[in-house]
Structure 1
């Protein structure tokens, strides 16, 4: 779309020459995310603070210009791709830690601060922020909040929704709001903080976040447990989650993932392994051994092939190398794979994995599964070649069946990657029409002209 001259001129006045990009050679890179989708924006705004964000959104509202917020572009669902053109609002210049309050266990940051920066600064005071997505070294806090991105530690410490006290934001008509509290308890009014987290920039632009910090554990231990089959591993997961010691992380790999690691790394894994669990336990020095023993007992059943406990940092690193070898192996075999992050109740993991195996055979599509077993969040990887039209047709048919399987097992279509563009057409299967319409009405109240990330999340048509 051609943007009005008056809009561009006023935007230039608000942001200055360094705060607005218009050269296609500069704006092009802002049109993609990790979904491999791309759409070029007309302009890219680089606001430096909350007031400039409010000014940009107000102008976009006045001139009805589509506005897509962007962090570091690590999302995998196309949520930050400007499919309607218009303006990209990048938070890269809003990268300051405003304050840290160790006594009250919180940190106030701008959205452009990276997850790793938060962890490093918090660690200096003996704390950490629990959300730890795979892209933590690069992704921004704003992106983490937009997607409610979690990672392995969510099993014990929760997602961004459980670890954010409050927000400052700008709604779609340019109004500034504050949500939440600075305390661990507070029930005055509706919980708009949790509503905005996970909304993918469709309701408001987050400009400031008050993050809840957690004390760093004194000690951590790691176990690698290998099972004969998926049912044995799933029984172990249920047993682990039913006893009092909650693991710090509980990661899962199926037989396909194990075979892939065996072929692409030097990991020593027994033949006939049907599933693998990586378990991390944290706690005080006084009770860590008790915790490890409790987890070990819960993990033991008649399908157990091998249980390895790591005590030293070198041993822990060696065990995690097995898990870390998986992503490079997947990229080698299928650099353009489809990666979904479905969730089912823990007890339904065997039915999910067995069902995925049946779908793999039915559609002749290779499927490799791994993920966060403790909360049933499984990453389903369909290893398809996008340059083969027949294979891609079968893969999309298979993906459709995968989502039907997940919903039949009382699951949800996404645990942490979000909806964006990739899952839009399937959302109506999970959320009933009356609830969807209520969500649309909420969207209209926050964003009367529908300028914020238009064409995302909700089913089209």
Structure 2
């Protein structure tokens, strides 16, 4: 890095907040996609004004600027593949306000999801998004990807649980979007536009989050089925009745076979699919709610329904799901992990189609995920040291995306696009709409400094 640029960054944030040594910068060049590129520098901001000045500097110098939280994303969206500066927001970790009377919290982007939930609990509230990486991932990352987790089936995604934002656009303009009330229709909804934009339009420096009261009680049950078709019928039946579960997860036959092989769980060989279901709400009436959901789950092909009666039993029921990730690591050195979404009624068609692709390409495919909203984590197990197998896996991935779109689905539910899915986006979005998106991006970031090359395929006009 040029010495004058380094000095300008130090003037903005201080010498302790700028890294330029390649060894120090190295860890900030990757995310959970396992892609890696070395940034020119890493800068740690702690205030909104600093971010405004950093963006202005990068505009003057025409240097790429990539905002980053904890790096738990899986799509390469924070990898500086075109060089530039990593702007780490992990030190902007203050909870600025908790307002129980109005059910809102104001936070900076570096607050971890778990720290926020722990701070809200004494007030009797929670913020609904709950990604698997909640202990590590930041609220800013949740907003950048619109990452939700299992609770989205009942409580929706960050877009529905965020009221307003403070941000700095790629042009260096400071903006505020949204409201602090639960209703408001003045102007365009820029809040929802920025959420899920992966840092390509603006850098979020503060968020007003909509809070939800903690439920009085919760109960969990596990249902096993003869095959995925039976489990999918149960999902449709559960979602068609008035009581919406707060979690409705599934594992297919390939997942269960893997768990049987790498854990001591006792699941009969007749089980071909499994649902994990949680129901929450007022303590009074929870028994009736549980009964309604379990009755809906008793479709043709059900083998067993097991309800947990204690926290220990809840943990035991979830052991099946928790055993899956270690099993995947034991089976293959690499997994291509996608998070496609299809209409709930088309889940069986997706699973059947994936089984055919698995056979055709000789690639093991393991499926699990958030069945209540059709968000399926499709895992293609492969070997990065085998070029021929990797080539088959990537061709299989393309066919997987084609299948999802044929079923009326979308290529990503919560992992985002980044680099991993960028070149498939034009299969889902037609040219006119993509051009409008490029125009919006240029309006926010005329010189294209924010996270260049991510999310949208290159424009050819």
Per-residue deviation, 1:8: 2.9
Choose from 105, 108, 119 the match for 1:107. 105
What CA deviation, in whole Å up to 9, does each residue of 1:128-164 have, x standing for no partner?
1100001000001111100000000000000000111
* Cα pair 2:32 2:72 within 8 Å, conserved: yes
Question: Match of 1:223?
Answer: 221
Question: Match of 1:402?
Answer: 400
Choose from 53, 60, 73 the match for 2:71. 73
Per-residue deviation, 1:295: 0.3
Per-residue deviation, 1:4: 5.2
Question: Match of 1:263?
Answer: 261
Question: Match of 1:442?
Answer: 440
Question: Match of 1:158?
Answer: 156
User: Secondary structure at 1:339's aligned position in 2?
Assistant: strand
Choose from 56, 59, 67 the match for 1:58. 56
**Distance in 2, Cα, partners of 1:259 & 1:72:** 33
**Distance in 2, Cα, partners of 1:434 & 1:339:** 29
- Runs (5+) with no aligned partner, structure 2: none
List aligned pairs for 1:342-361, cutoff 5 A.
342-361=340-359
What CA deviation, in whole Å up to 9, does each residue of 1:179-230 have, x standing for no partner?
1111111111111000000000000000001111111111111110001011
**Distance in 2, Cα, partners of 1:386 & 1:19:** 36
User: Secondary structure at 1:8's aligned position in 2?
Assistant: helix
Aligned length, in residue pairs: 459
**Distance in 2, Cα, partners of 1:56 & 1:344:** 40
TM-score by length of 1: 0.98
**Distance in 2, Cα, partners of 1:409 & 1:252:** 19
Question: Match of 1:452?
Answer: 450
List aligned pairs for 1:29-428, cutoff 5 A.
29-428=27-426
What CA deviation, in whole Å up to 9, does each residue of 1:368-411 have, x standing for no partner?
00000000000000010111111111111111110000000000
CA RMSD of aligned residues (A): 0.9
**Distance in 1, Cα, partners of 2:263 & 2:211:** 37
User: Secondary structure at 2:207's aligned position in 1?
Assistant: strand
Choose from 14, 17, 23 the match for 2:15. 17
TM-score by length of 2: 0.98
User: Secondary structure at 1:61's aligned position in 2?
Assistant: helix
**Distance in 1, Cα, partners of 2:162 & 2:333:** 35
Per-residue deviation, 1:336: 1.6
* Cα pair 2:80 2:86 within 8 Å, conserved: yes
* Cα pair 2:344 2:372 within 8 Å, conserved: yes
**Distance in 1, Cα, partners of 2:313 & 2:216:** 18
* Cα pair 2:40 2:83 within 8 Å, conserved: yes
- Runs (5+) with no aligned partner, structure 1: none
User: Secondary structure at 1:48's aligned position in 2?
Assistant: coil
**Distance in 1, Cα, partners of 2:32 & 2:333:** 12
**Distance in 1, Cα, partners of 2:14 & 2:313:** 53
Per-residue deviation, 1:118: 0.5
Per-residue deviation, 1:5: 4.5
